[in-house]
Structure 1
Amino acid sequence: MKNLEVGIIGGAGYTAGELIRLLLNHPETNINFVYSTSNAGNKLYKVHQDLIGATEISFTNEINADIDVLFLCLGHGNSTSFLEKNSFSENTKIIDLSNDFRLIADKNFNGKEFVYGLPEMNKEEIKTAKHIANPGCFATALQLAILPLAANHLLNNDIHINAVTGATGAGTSLSETTHFTYRDNNFSHYKAFNHQHLGEINQTVNLLQDRFDSEINFMPNRGNFSRGIFATTYTKFDGSIDAAKKMYKEYYKDAAFTFVSDTDIHMKQVVNTNKCIIGLEKHGNKLLITSTIDNLLKGASGTAIQNMNLMYGFEETLGLNLKANYF
């Protein structure tokens, strides 16, 4: 079978850069075009400088409507407007990395039904889907921390989450809080208790545990590093630590990239990989769940490739066996 012809819309951002890197090394894909009106005619490596020597592809302002897979790497709210203005073949499968179609209220758009693309929860639905709404980065790390509890109807008290993300989580556009002089040797919180990813997190919990009526208290933080997310989550839990570990390991026993560790975890274990690693501790009547991912890979482009693999019946890990930047 010939390689899949793939197109990328919004090719100049961090997630697109990682997506291009993964697709260039994926044995079943060929990059047909990378669309960027502001960079049309420039070589990809002029923007994504890590790609020098890897490809001679240039950005384009032209679109091929007959591709097999379309990745949308646009800013939030822009995928809907793009799809309103551009049409593709009935055979084209779409994977959207924005938040436009993640909520049930938004999943049907212009005759297209988007499946929420969290493989650890929706693997079977993803396999038969034509359109995927890729999860958010924080949403991925936090949902993977609590999915086993929700699936077993054990989220009966408020959930408290403190999580920190690297500078790449804010995108390539410069602002006061992404400038080096702000981030360096600094730490701050933002969007306290009302981060946009709470919508999809609450949605998932309510799908798994339909009588969930507690609060999810989420405090997002900016870290002074480039990439990665580290989250600490705790809630009341009556069982033992052994019972918790058994439940989590059973839930993730068939997960290709999510692992439960018996030792303390840290972020360097996952940076540059598609892994999520989870740690568990019991403190009094509270269960502490730590989870860590690379925000650009497991939190975005890596899961997008994972979803593509599932949609086409490839090995789920194909093109994603990456080693962490541990040293």
Structure 2
Amino acid sequence: MIKAGIIGATAYTSLELIKILLRHPEIDLSYLGIRREGGFKISDIFPVLTNRLDMHCSRMDKDDVPIGVDMAFVTLPPVIAMQYVPALLNAGIRVVDLSADYRFQDKSIYEKWYKAKHTDPSNLDNATYGLPEIFREKIKKADLVANPGCYPTSAIIGLAPLISNGYIQTDDIIIDAKSGISGSGREPKEGTQYCERNENIEAYNVGVHRHTPEIKNILSLIGKSDTNVYFTPHLIPMNRGILCTTYVKTRKKSSGKEIIAIYNDYYSKEPFVRVKKDDKLPGTKDVVGTNFCEIAIRVVDERVIILSTIDNLIKGAAGQAVQNMNIMYGFEETLGLLY
């Protein structure tokens, strides 16, 4: 059994992690760390866990190391997470970090978009970007995995088959994404209050969203050439789920059947990617509560329209983190994630 801990245990993502880990046959969830004063039970924060997990939360400072833990999921916010990760790694604890702090090897990109100095640049080269469908072999050997963002997960899985074989033009990729409110986190904000979000759909951070360079960077790695991305996210009045609609231009005229065949071949062995058949289109209800990404393709003239949908808290966060952990420890990749 692997002893696992969660650092930042009161986040929405942490609740999903806890639910998954409690049914994982190879994991003993043995530590819940928080930044504030501890002593209370996690079920006091999340009553749904009453009589399922009544473990106490422990206050954890950045240099503290949980005793007897083999691996840790770090669910702290960006900038804060990198203050805790070095001590964990130095103690021999393997880490899956769900913040953005280790997603860029070039610290200048991080510092530009996150408006903060990177305080742990020495570990950037040691971090592996944790998108299993693309970087599985590297994840197997990693001690530090940077779990992807929710929007990038949906967008990159949707685009990877066409980017990887040079099938599309990469200088004009348009991504229109819509997300439920839980993607904004658990901390109260004016913009996420009921009266602000109910009966309202709204774009935000147009042209300046921090997931833009992450999408661009990984697509450039996959395609081995520079990629230009125009990314516009929207908040919609539902709890969870992401739908990305991506528009790209092909290098040559192609039929829908040809494009779908490329996707079916590319993802034929992927346990958590489902390519829709015939005239079916994906919706968030088809994936909410699961670790699946569903994709549909339409061809209009010389444009391909890609629709990809995930649960932002599962495939976009906690589920993918456990998928990465399974790969790191050589477990069956779907362990704990099919339910």
User: Which TM-score bucket, shorter chain as reference?
Assistant: over 0.9
How many angstroms apart in 2 are the aligned matches of 1:318 and 1:211? 35
Give the one of 171, 183, 187 matched to 2:197. 183
Q: Within 5 A, what are the aligned runs for 1:101-180?
A: 101-106=102-107, 109-110=122-123, 113-156=126-169, 157-180=171-194
Cα distance, 1:79 vs. partner? 1.4
Q: Residue by residue, what CA displacement relative to the aligned partner does 1:117-164 show, whole Å, maximum 9, x if unpaired?
A: 000100111111111000000010000110011101123141111111
Cα distance, 1:211 vs. partner? 2.8
Which residue in the other structure is 1:221 paired with?
Answer: 234
Identical residues among aligned pairs (%): 34
Which residue in the other structure is 1:96 paired with?
Answer: 97
Q: Within 5 A, what are the aligned runs for 1:35-46?
A: 35-38=33-36, 40-46=38-44
SS in 2 for 1:122: helix
Which residue in the other structure is 1:278 paired with?
Answer: 295
Larger mean Cα displacement after TM superposition, 127-136 or 43-52 = 43-52
Contact 1:155 1:212 in 2 (8 A): no
Cα distance, 1:67 vs. partner? 1.3
How many angstroms apart in 2 are the aligned matches of 1:79 and 1:111? 13
How many angstroms apart in 2 are the aligned matches of 1:27 and 1:285? 48
Which residue in the other structure is 1:235 paired with?
Answer: 248
> Are residues 183 and 80 of structure 1, via their aligned partners in 2, closer, same or farther at CA, if it must alter by over 3 Å?
same
Cα distance, 1:89 vs. partner? 5.7
Cα distance, 1:283 vs. partner? 1.2
SS in 1 for 2:192: coil
Can you give the 5+ residue segments of structure 2 that lack an aligned partner in the other structure? 108-119
Which residue in the other structure is 2:14 paired with?
Answer: 16
Contact 1:24 1:31 in 2 (8 A): yes
Aligned residue pairs, count:
318
| AA aligned opposite 1:72 | V
Contact 2:105 2:125 in 1 (8 A): no
How many angstroms apart in 2 are the aligned matches of 1:280 and 1:95? 32
Deviating 4+ runs (over 4 angstroms): 87-90
Whether 1:260 aligns to 2:262 is no
| AA aligned opposite 1:145 | G
Which residue in the other structure is 2:262 paired with?
Answer: 247
Contact 1:112 1:131 in 2 (8 A): no
> Are residues 110 and 282 of structure 1, via their aligned partners in 2, closer, same or farther at CA, if it must alter by over 3 Å?
closer
Cα distance, 1:50 vs. partner? 1.7
Q: Residue by residue, what CA displacement relative to the aligned partner does 1:55-90 show, whole Å, maximum 9, x if unpaired?
A: 121111254244111111000111112235x34565
How much is the aligned-residue C-alpha RMSD, in angstroms? Answer: 1.7
SS in 1 for 2:106: helix
> Are residues 87 and 159 of structure 1, via their aligned partners in 2, closer, same or farther at CA, if it must alter by over 3 Å?
closer
Which residue in the other structure is 1:325 paired with?
Answer: none
Cα distance, 1:15 vs. partner? 0.6
Whether 1:303 aligns to 2:301 is no
> Are residues 147 and 110 of structure 1, via their aligned partners in 2, closer, same or farther at CA, if it must alter by over 3 Å?
closer
TM-score, normalised via structure 1 length: 0.93
How many angstroms apart in 1 are the aligned matches of 2:41 and 2:293? 33
| AA aligned opposite 2:304 | L
TM-score, normalised via structure 2 length: 0.90
Contact 1:244 1:280 in 2 (8 A): yes
Contact 1:245 1:280 in 2 (8 A): yes
Cα distance, 1:100 vs. partner? 0.3
Contact 1:65 1:87 in 2 (8 A): no
How many angstroms apart in 1 are the aligned matches of 2:210 and 2:67? 32
Give the one of 292, 305, 310 matched to 1:288. 305
